[in-house]
Structure 1
């Protein structure tokens, strides 16, 4: 498990900056007067900060970092000059913190932030970007100093403001760890065990095994795992943070720990990436951890369907008909369209048991959403404008790209089956939308619902502002903010 940086918040004492070891980061506006910390470093280095600022004045952008290695007059190995004025956005402040994290490497850091009004957001960015998944590497690595000293004018105030942000960062890291794990490690059983461990944070956790799922009639979900030796499971996580027994928000995640495509086998090239096909369940898990750590005053239930989609003599075949928990029969045209079979049963169970005030499902559901939106935005579908707009606002505030796409009867008609109530694919046109319409069939008419297709954003091939390549943890921050904005009392 990758740990979030430990932050120590101390009051600004200029005399200690020169004796700091490791790296020292200071904030410098592209124009205007230097703050007292930057002035102190400028004096110690005999004007090096001002000279560097003048040299970069025409090309520097907000959040850029320029390092002064082994600065004269100081014991630090480097000074990181971060171009950030006092007046900046949350995104700019977090990007500045992320830039500090990338420069930090394995060294300790003194972040001299003074009285910057968005110091807590800088800390959040620093925490989110300081991540690396190397649990399965055997080569000796340099010792990583996991502590950062934050020097500010009001340390208690900044520490209080940063605490919920760091709680969410821990949830993001939990998601990234899960999504990055190989499938021979993160089996359905191991995944469930890691979720059971959330009990230590006050989350109530239940694991429903295959016999219970069969009793409930979850034929869609169980059909996906028929070909695997790993048992299919549903894990239910309860966070009861509200003072009353108000209806919870339900978060539902697709947890296909590995997806070969089943009998409709995927091409070999790139199949190794299908370790991330449990990304929706990973986000639900991370969000539940974040809510528990920040003691959210809301009732939220997280449900994840954990399966493995493998080809074998017992695997579901194209052309088979399975019966969902709702009772609808489903013609399986393509066994590689398996996530919706998992979700339809878990969504129905969530509504039957918990009567939620709203429901959000997340899934790495379709390659089509990547064709449409690339890796910049998740696809958003909803039956409720107010609920959807609340999520879009939360995602925008957290810098997590999301774009709403339509639903409609014409798309649903593509799913008509000759021999069953519905088929599980509607052809190539509008593949992400027809997948959402399949799920829409299993949503009660009075339940506000959002479907998030995160296939393009859950794991990426290059660095993002807040994460190295690989799992991003997309969605944990947006869901936490949605809960804070709409469901906390």
Structure 2
């Protein structure tokens, strides 16, 4: 290690540095000791510029630290990285005083997740190459753990890339091609185009996309990692690549953000890539419906009635309540085709969930208490939080239609997220355990979150991976 290198050391929550004497020089120890007397010790991280080429970072670690806290510490450290001047950083693992296995791995993982940027369309790119090295003999990261961290990073970044792409690039045709490229990881992928979907009777999904010059697709992604032929677990995602609202047109302000209306599907695709990279020992299927909700002479009209794959008919009262139509066919098909142990769907489904929960929690709706608790616990562990919302038969009357089996919105008003979930529940025909995650407030962040720097968050990839690790693998 060069004398000019930047050093990361770990201390307790009171910033006691007595144990660091053997890792820094006497002059550095005295200098930092003096500065600590007037420092804000409530912070998680303090930095001390020793000279123009060296900075020493003190990272405060609480006694009851969790792995998610360590990832957040890594993300906070990332903010201090000086890409322009300081290229080499050394993490001294001998200063880690924690029983958390893979502490150093979680710290580096947090740095990596926070480092993501989407800048491929900028003509001038700043080269951001730095070196972060582990030194010391404590808390080495095993090969398996390195693979696990890499899988989460690649799955999350793939999901973020998909969500970040503009609508003129990532339309349904291109999206289907990108998913197909994942075959090289050992995933079995089937793409159902409009001709096949029409033959299957997926008129709810096809109706949403009929106003676009682009195709509409259902894509299934299978990972068979179990040694037996057990039924898979299933994840279903809404993939509306751009949502104008159709003839129930959205306001112009912020419509550009509707490129992220496919974030639920991106989570499913990113999760499947992650599982394939780390060779998960489980059978899993991901199913995504890919459409573009546009206005044209061929677009769906308010008042249209369509027959879904389930056989149930739907009156379209609002063409901007389109995600539930895509999911309706995808859910029934997933249940019938794969007979999964359970189904979790993800969608940026309603603005009402943002009114309810803001950008702190995603909404959880479920017909199964066990599955709901497993999801809540997994979300808490990785800090991708969920809040359970109600389902009840009394809400059904709000979506019953005089002209069809049901209507796609509640015109009475209120309970927007719940009636959307109640609508979806009607397409689970065989009482399969099911959960719906409304991630409208979590999929995209204007200001950045703990482990992302703003923009697409890949919310759900880490949550669902944790669910699989802890309860099903």
Sort the TM-score into its range (normalised by shorter chain).
Answer: over 0.9
SS in 1 for 2:359: coil
User: Structure 1 residues 295, 62: CA separation in 2 closer, same or farther (over 3 Å shift)?
Assistant: farther
Distance 1:170 1:386 in 2: 30
Residue 138, structure 1, aligned to residue 108, structure 2? no
The alpha-carbon deviation at position 112 of structure 1 amounts to 2.2
Paired with 1:79 and 1:41, the residues of 2 have a C-alpha distance of 9
Mapped contact 2:119–2:125 kept (Cα < 8 A) = no
Equivalence for 1:479: 464
Partner of 2:9: 26
The answer on whether the counterparts of 2:14 and 2:41 sit within 8 Å (CA) in structure 1 is no
- Calculate the TM-score normalised by the size of structure 2: 0.94
Return the match for 2:133 from 149, 152, 155.
149
Alignment of 1:67-216 (within 5 A): 67-69=47-49, 71-72=50-51, 76-85=53-62, 87-106=64-83, 107-114=87-94, 116=96, 117=98, 118-141=103-126, 143-145=127-129, 147-154=131-138, 156-158=140-142, 160-216=144-200
Q: Which runs of 5+ in 2 are unaligned?
A: none
Local SS of the residue matching 2:442: coil
Cα distance in 2, alignment partners of residues 160 and 110 from structure 1: 22
Match of 1:387 in 2: 371
Residue 13 of structure 1 corresponds to none
- 1:10 corresponds in structure 2 to none
How large is the Cα RMSD of the aligned pairs? 1.9
Task: Work out which of the residue numbers 252, 259, 262 in structure 2 matches 1:278.
Answer: 262
CA distance in 2, matches of 1:329, 1:415: 12
Q: Which residue of 2 aligns with 1:420?
A: 404
CA distance in 2, matches of 1:175, 1:105: 27
Offset from partner CA, 1:162-212 (integer Å, 9 cap, x none): 431332122111111111111111111211111112112111111111101
Q: What's the TM-score, normalizing by structure 1? A: 0.91
Q: How does 1:53-64 map to 2 (within 5 A)?
A: 53-56=36-39, 59-61=40-42, 63=44
- Partner of 2:448, secondary structure, is coil
Give the conservation status (yes or no) of the 8 Å contact 2:347–2:438.
Answer: yes
Distance 1:38 1:296 in 2: 44
5 Å matches for 1:248-397?
Answer: 248-397=232-381
Quote the offset at 1:77 in angstroms: 4.1
Partner of 1:4: none
Matching of residue 438 in structure 1 with residue 433 in structure 2: no
Q: CA deviation at 1:25?
A: 2.1
Conservation of the 8 A alpha-carbon contact between 1:240 and 1:300: yes
Which string of whole-angstrom CA distances, capped at 9 and with x for unpartnered residues, describes residues 92-128 of structure 1? 2111111121211424432223252422221221121
Shift of 1:52: 3.0
- Give the SS at the match of 1:433: helix
Question: Which sections of structure 1, spanning at least 5 residues, go unmatched?
Answer: 1-15
Count of residues in correspondence between the two structures: 464
Instruction: Work out whether 1:406 is the aligned partner of 2:390.
Output: yes
